[in-house]
Amino acid sequence: MFTYTYNNRFLLTGWQLDAISQTLGYDADGLLTSYGPYTITRNGPGRTASLLRDNVMTTTLGYDSLARVISRTHTAAGQPVYQVQLAYDNVGRISTRTETAGSTHVFTYTYDADGRLSQVQRDGAVIEAYTYDLNGNRLSKQLNAGPIVTATYDTQDRLLALGNTAYQFDVDGYLKQRGSDTFRYSARGELISATVGAQTITYAYDALNRRVSRSDVNGTTQYLYGNPNNPFQVSAVRSAGGQLSVFYYDDNGLIFALDRNGARYTIATDQVGSPRVVADAAGQVVKAIEYDSFGNVVSDSAPGFDLPIGFAGGLSDAATGLVRFGYRDYDPAAGRWTARDPIFFGGQQANLYVYVGNDPINLRDPLGLWCIGVSLYEGIGGGVQTCITSEGASFCGEVGFGVGVNVGIDNGGLEPPGSEIGVEGKAVFGGVGGVGLNIKFDDCGLSYTPAGELGPITFDPSKGGLQPTIDGGPAWLLKNGKISAQAKLYGKVCTQGKW
């Protein structure tokens, strides 16, 4: 169990788990400047972190004039451990990556007209090639000079076969069989068991849908979440043998160190958070991992060194080959999710299984994108809204006086922190459409926002005007089937945390 201390500014100043404790320090602006043994220097754009160091290890970050990360350098005991340097094309995508982990290699990336990764070269030789259909399904992949592996899909974008491996999905869109491997899900869509060969693995989750344990014949591994500013970040892992590993993350949510059995290791990651090199306090490399662009492990120098954090910072499972990101599991072999997007078509893309738009070089999705709000007023009432995006999470609570019920699911961005008071009236005509007006007073002053809905078109000037969505059956009911009318006088407070 985690215990916490706070200062008079309500900033977290310390936590303790078992016999392990850490303290946190801040500057006058409330920016984190120390975390346990690490000091954080903030000379980056907007006072972003430029250096993280303890008495042995350093992680240095470099930025360009557009505040993009262009380098990450890790050292231990004065020894270079890993460095990655990035260059961007005219539309902001990574075009080359120069990586030094012992030896230096230059990776060059090519994208198709839809921004999907199509080719990777290493030192001038093609090592990865991909093609896609019009709906974003990956039709083929070729690694190095190996055979071309093709894939087929049904009309709902569900994978039918990858090479010689057959895939089957249940009626709810969840992967239930991959070759001879079988998978079973809970009523909430959580993967609760997987049978791979003669081995069965079971999983448990908490009320927030976070995976909290993994059990097999060797025992139970526990995943512990102790960061109140990022409740979905894995803070520590307790192995089946009772060994506790505590993780350190930077401002971007990328892991950079771990403590285990009294020893500290630096973890060097690439630009999306995949661990590439693990080194001890003497600067000796104890583990080096290579991945292809979609997260398949190409090589692992020390499989016996347990590192639960895998591709793009997700929870890796060597037995199933899957990687857990928040609410869904990802299959690196197929380069896609094993389940539909939780917000259905609200993610503004027609394919519910595509991983980060088939651009795993530039993008990561630690949770998936969703935003859900519920309010109930019959006289005195209130409501809550929670938003989870790739940027972070926000939570809003409101109380007031009014009448009506509202249930909505959206893929909107995070709510800004702060408070407001307002008046809102809305009339909704089933799933056909509706009109409304919101008048509010917040830190920016008095403002009003008219809004209207007609079929799949939403008009909201505060969110960029006309926003066409896709009629998606159950998704349409969730997104637009708001109930009856609502009028309310309310007060609202929101908090926000970035990954």
Nearest Cα to 283, choosing from 299, 270, 264? 264
* CA–CA separation, 440 and 153 (whole Å): 48
Amino acid of residue 37: P
3-state secondary structure 347-387: HCCCCCCECHHHCCCCCCCCCCCEEEEEEEEEEEEEEEEEE
Mean pLDDT (the chain) is 84
CB atoms within 10 A of CB 156: 11
Six-digit token string for 249: 């993350």
Tell me: pLDDT of 383 over 80.
Answer: no
Residue-wise pLDDT tens digits, 308-334: 999 999 999 999 999 999 889 999 999
- Which band of pLDDT confidence, cut at 50, 70 and 90, is reported for residue 485? low
Task: Examine the pLDDT at 191 and tell me if it is beyond 90.
Answer: yes
d(CA 332, CA 317): 11
**Burial class of 130 by CB neighbour count within 10 A (0 to 12, 13 to 18, 19+):** buried
What was the pLDDT predicted at 441? 72
Q: Using CA atoms, how far apart are residues 298 and 309, in angstroms rounded to an integer?
A: 16
Angle at CA 244, nearest 5°, toward 220 and 264? Answer: 145
For the chain, the domains span: 37-116+199-330+340-358, 370-498
Q: How confident is the model at residue 431 (pLDDT cuts 50, 70, 90)?
A: very low
Mean pLDDT of 273-285: 97
- Tell me which DSSP letter residue 462 carries: G
Identify which has the larger pLDDT, 326 or 278: 278
What is the reported pLDDT for 470?
Answer: 33
pLDDT tens digit sequence for 28-79: 999 999 999 999 999 999 999 999 999 999 999 999 999 999 999 999 999 9
d(CA 192, CA 190): 6
Encode pLDDT of 227-260 as tens digits.
Answer: 988 888 999 999 999 999 999 999 889 999 999 9
> What pLDDT was estimated at residue 348?
46
What's the pLDDT band for 110 if we cut at 50, 70, 90?
very high
Sheet of 418-429: strand order equals 370-388, 392-410, 485-498, 418-429, 433-442, 445-454, 457-460, 465-468
Which tops the pLDDT comparison, 240 or 375? 240
Confidence of residue 373 (pLDDT cuts 50, 70, 90): low
Whether the Cβ atoms of residue 370 and residue 438 lie closer than 8 Å to each other: no
Q: Check residue 464 and give its pLDDT.
A: 43
Mean pLDDT of 452-463: 50
The whole-number pLDDT of residue 378 equals 53
Distance (Å, rounded) from C-alpha 340 to C-alpha 344? 7
The pLDDT tens digits of the residues spanning 117-160 come to 999 999 999 999 999 999 999 999 999 989 999 999 999 999 99
61-70, 165-174, 489-498, range with the lowest pLDDT: 489-498
- pLDDT category at 396 given cuts 50, 70, 90 is confident
Tens of pLDDT, residues 160-169: 999 999 999 9
Residue that is written with structure tokens 């290890």 in the block: 57
Stated as kind and residue range, the H or E segment containing 24 is: strand 20-26
